Structure 1
């Protein structure tokens, strides 16, 4: 029931899987919560594939079925085709769930369609879909074709299967300290490969003292690395700016490093509720605390040429975080990129205007899509593009021309893109 309610929130309300899961599994024991998480994440990851199978098995379009019934069938298909759940148990459990969650009247159609799904195994369905659908090969990778095409444009063809496979593997959570407030040794586990601020540890992060006290948090190593990269090349003396700081992970890391070198961070976030998350992430720092404001990054709430280092983690399609956000691959559309690109251009122009001459700007996206990355940076003016990969010489195979590009299959991180730019113009 927890998995079903989570999936309904994702399907009907555009909820984020991780937030909806936390809400609906908070009263379950650890084992049941883990199984509900497996059900939801796996179903979301293969949603397009399961929809094609359900439509084929039922001999009818999904639009002819009640939305709640579609979600029930998706959960059942995942148990039948991707988990080690016996067919009779998966069908019976889903029919019982249908009875309790929707009503007796839908149990017949759920039972009939799932029995037809169970008539073939995963390989059998792969063969049938190849005969029925021109998009079968994309569906079998659990990715829409347009996302595969976007990856193929910027990645060597030989690596594409490995990337798609890595996208389908649940990531191991990475922990990060707030510099100056905690030591990596407090996190337990194994230090991360390249970031000096984090570790991989088993168990629930919330049980660690450093996490409970706000002296550490959860953050993918890729996000740690691109924030660290901004701090490594030379830059003028002066305050730092995080232009789109929500939900606060990069700001929390930057604030600690800034304090260690004797300066302060201003963290800005458009949405007040996300600005509140940033403030919470920074709350453990002593006075004078980093400053957090709710402001539109395209309309500067600060003087021009004020900041020595500027972080712009631009709003993007999130195609680089499909491991952690399994629902995003079927929710996003090419039109979303069309809508985001003008905003990315405007925010980068604002970040450049905020930087001092000689100052550094980090343009970051959690997407490798060419239109959101290289094309945005190459259209900017008033800056010189630096060799971003050289700012992180510890990390192998990360150069994408003058930019840095991390990949799940190469680095075990989100596919973070980083451009490092130096503001040109007179310094006096």
Structure 2
């Protein structure tokens, strides 16, 4: 009987999993594998807790279909080849990805498989449209979103794969132990519940409410998409005619194709337009701690510290404040986000930070967000601020956005920079 090893990475699901479908078609027996590569910068506490729940849920789903999730610890390539050789597997299946780490992993896996005469099969799973599938006639990737959106919208999406009824695992495999979880809410089961609630309710109001800071009217599916607990193709298909939301999924694909073409996106300016960066450790520390003296900025940063999540509008405001008013290089902010976000995604995080900083794919590199105007517009009664900045809980209404006008508040700092009109 033929055996295939399926290396899970960022595709921790059974619904619409191209890798699982290919592995089952390639062999009678499938060994689902996840390798915990400890010591990676990715492995920050918020994401590892979520990942632990994802793996437990995936194992449960596989066991209900006769299989299991094999857990190993160490180098993903070495552990994959070791398991493939132990099980006399003819095939290894893995999903392609765009980060420098993922590309190097695939290159090493290809070389190791060739050495041991094992067939390596790769699939596209991370985006709605594969990063290289949509490109301009005179280049390898789109550098501006709008033409990408037009081309992306005209692309035929693949059909979703069905969930396998049965998975046959070779006898006698030591499945290994799962990392300890703490109920962080990760995994396909919870993700699909969140998706169902979103599609049945919130998505209809998304065009009017996605910037509503206190209303928190976004899908909250970013971590589920990042870990592959949800299929982006399935979500986009089910979102259907809700263009405003589908457009956000397109932005995610846009950053994937930029990163595929420019792997240095997380560390180097895509367009080095600016030379006015300053080194200000004190200002950066105050920003990280949510102590800038601007309540709307501090609320966003404290939401991040408390939840490992930040509302998208707040992400834009705090990023603009750091890069355009404090003139601190965007990588300092991107690194802080990556250290704390459950949905910390290399392509999306870097792409969005560079867009705000004026070094990336924004056609208006001098764009700035005035924090006071934004606060009054998107948190008109100050409820978002009071939720995360308890020092200002007693300041009534919109006055919370400018506490310095009302005698301040004990323990709350003065503004780091003078307010702009």
Q: TM-score range by the shorter chain?
A: under 0.3
Which structure has greater strand proportion?
1
